[in-house]
Amino acid sequence: MVKPTKRTGVFAKARCRSWFLTIREQRLAIQRHLRRHPSLHTLWAEALMDGFEGGIEVTLRETLLSLRVFPKTCPYTFEQVLAPTFLCDPTGDWDGTC
């Protein structure tokens, strides 16, 4: 899931580790599926958009953000989404910040 978020204050600190670990887990799962099923590469654009739309729905439920603040299409490329340092860098020590 590509979850667009806008986090501030205490809420951000409490949720940040979970958010970071979810991104890491999902990236690994996607990479594993692509290795096992190379034909899935042809569906990446559709899957990215589906995930982005699903992420917006989750974010709308969990925040006070308005639908109009989100772009109509995913502003990220598939390569960006899978890059280990995109949004949160999982290579560094976890210090509770994103």
The pLDDT tens digits along the chain (98 residues) read: 555 544 444 344 445 777 778 888 989 999 999 999 999 989 988 999 999 999 999 999 989 999 999 999 999 999 998 888 887 765 555 555 54
Write out the residue range of the structural domain in which residue 45 sits: 9-82
Q: Total structural domains in the chain?
A: 1
In a domain, 48, yes or no: yes
| pTM of structure | 0.65
In a domain, 13, yes or no: yes
**Which two structure tokens, joined as six digits, stand for 41?**
């590469």
In a domain, 4, yes or no: no
In a domain, 19, yes or no: yes
In a domain, 98, yes or no: no
For residues 33 and 50, give the distance between their C-alpha atoms in angstroms, rounded to a whole number: 17
In a domain, 59, yes or no: yes
In a domain, 3, yes or no: no
In a domain, 63, yes or no: yes
Phi-psi label, residue 3: left if phi above 0, alpha if psi -120 to 50, beta otherwise: beta
